[in-house]
Amino acid sequence: MEQVVFRDLGLIDYKECWDDQEKLFNEIISLKIANRKVSELEQKHTQSYLLFCEHPHVYTLGKSGDESNMLLGEEELKEKNASFYKINRGGDITYHGPGQLVAYPILDLDNFFTDIHKYLRYLEEAVILTLADYQVKAGRIEGLTGVWIDGDDPIRARKIAAMGVRTSRWVTMHGLAFNINSNLGYFNNIIPCGINNKAVTSLENELGRTVALEEVKEKLRTHFTAVFECKLIVA
């Protein structure tokens, strides 16, 4: 069973965490390149990671995103005490903030399976199973990423978890943002994921009560390890 190093970074600045991801991502890729230059017996096993965190208020725009989906100017961002970054993941614009559980799997998919579509569906599945623990029925919308509630109803459909990833040489970074006790008002300042006719929700909003973030983290960890058939090592 593949071992994945787990780290809970708590509340961490977005750029600091992005730099941490890049460091691990590049270390794995460098080792994979080095392994190609030696015999199979001399090759070293790559280490995968799963990072959990929260971020202070921040908006991030993926490399394929449209900057016009950000509805705030620089001064308005300052008033909201929020930051804005153009980053190197797929997808459009999204929001991160306190009360949102962000998961960054930095995995060498060569040690799991080499299928990006399957990888995205597995991330979604871990969230769907976590929501089921709270008797919240969630699923997918064909052609869109992320996890949705009432996805089969065009009027009521609302997103509870967004996803955006980057991959190179079958190594992943970035990941998913799961709204637990998020201030949903911050989503009004963007066109989330470039989709202007779908609402955003949170677990708190669905249940009508605040949910302990640590409790959700434990459930998501459990489902992640089951879906990816791995073992988490805290480090």
193 an active-site residue? yes
Secondary structure (DSSP) of 167-216: EETTEEEEEEEEESS--GGGGGGB-GGG-TT-EE--HHHHHTS---HHHH
Give the SS3 label for residue 69: helix
159 touches 197 (CB < 8 A): no
Catalytic-labelled residue, pool 17, 53, 193, 230:
193
Instruction: Count other Cβ atoms within 10 Å, centred on residue 213.
Output: 18
Instruction: Count other Cβ atoms within 10 Å, centred on residue 79.
Output: 10
CA-CA distance, 71 to 136, in Å (whole number)?
31
Helix axes 116-132, 213-228, angle to 10 degrees: 140
CA-CA distance, 61 to 16, in Å (whole number)?
17
Q: 107: buried, middle or exposed (CB in 10 Å: 19+, 13-18, 0-12)?
A: buried
Return the active site residues. 193
